[in-house]
A = this chain, B = another copy of it.
Amino acid sequence: MPIERRPLREQIREELMLRLDRGDFAAGTDINEVALAGELGVSRTPLREALITLAGEGVLESNQGRGFRFAPVSRKEFRELCAIVAALEALALESSDPAYLKKIAPELLGLAQDFSDNIAERQDIERHDDEWHDLLLSGCGNERLLDLITSVKAGMRRYAHLMTGESTPMERAAEEHCRVAERLLDGDLEGAAAALRDNWVNGMERMMARIP
């Protein structure tokens, strides 16, 4: 059995993202390195390494002498991030193998449909949505692009917990997912990419109201 042998900084980063998803940290919160390191049971060194990584992804900010803090949220930044991910996911889709996309299209359609049926917890919805997008991009051979998308999405997770448990806007999202899948079934890559971009733009507008 291959025992887990991974740098602490990565495990720490993962744990911090988990806590961020749980809503443990409010945006703008300063991070106390000694306190957090003690809480996690590690030293400051790998913790700081994780913090630097997260700062590179835009999850944290760092100011000289003042350490790290969770970057504050803003409508402007959210709009910016959505535009970026929309473009990147569209690119990933367009540079995927059309045959493969046609093959997974039914599955994508199915997922999108029982997406609108089941009204679940917020976190379940998010997970479902993430998995759908992951499957959609699973045929893209551009590894750097996929990494980049993951990284940018990490920066967006700060906005996830602002989406409180209303399910109505999700039905719209499910419709949009269906539209993407349908275009793929038709072999219309361009159209699918456009629908995907729309999905992000609309998703953005759905969220905008909830951001201060």
In the complex, whether A142 has a CB less than 8 A from a CB of chain B is yes
Closest partner residue, chain B, to A155 (CB atom): B144
Q: What 1/0 flags go to A42-53 for Cβ under 8 Å of B?
A: 000100110011
User: Contacts of A57 on B, CB cut-off 8 Å?
Assistant: 56
In the complex, whether A9 has a CB less than 8 A from a CB of chain B is yes
Whether A148 contacts B152 in the complex (CB less than 8 A), given A9-B52, A91-B83, A91-B84, comes out as: yes
Are B52 and A142 closer than 8 Å at their CB atoms?
no
Closest partner residue, chain B, to A57 (CB atom): B56
Are A144 and B95 closer than 8 Å at their CB atoms?
no
In the complex, whether A212 has a CB less than 8 A from a CB of chain B is no
In the complex, whether A143 has a CB less than 8 A from a CB of chain B is yes
Within 8 A of B (CB), among A19-71: 45, 48-49, 52-53, 56-58, 62, 64
Expressed in whole angstroms, the Cα–Cα distance for A80 and B145 within the complex equals 7
Are A56 and B56 closer than 8 Å at their CB atoms?
yes
Closest partner residue, chain B, to A78 (CB atom): B144
In the complex, whether A77 has a CB less than 8 A from a CB of chain B is yes
Are B5 and A64 closer than 8 Å at their CB atoms?
yes
Are A83 and B145 closer than 8 Å at their CB atoms?
yes
Within 8 A of B (CB), among A114-146: 142-145
Q: Which of B7, B81, B87, B151 contacts A88 (CB 8 A)?
A: B87
Closest partner residue, chain B, to A56 (CB atom): B56
User: Contacts of A53 on B, CB cut-off 8 Å?
Assistant: 52, 56
Within 8 A of B (CB), among A67-123: 77, 80-81, 83-84, 87-88, 90-91, 95
Whether A144 contacts B81 in the complex (CB less than 8 A), given A5-B64, A52-B52, comes out as: yes
Q: Which of A7, A45, A57, A80 has the most CB of B within 10 A?
A: A80
Q: How far is the CB of A145 from chain B (nearest CB, A)?
A: 6
Are B145 and A84 closer than 8 Å at their CB atoms?
yes
Binding site for B on A (CB under 8 A): 5-7, 9, 45, 48-49, 52-53, 56-58, 62, 64, 77, 80-81, 83-84, 87-88, 90-91, 95, 142-145, 147-148, 151-152, 155
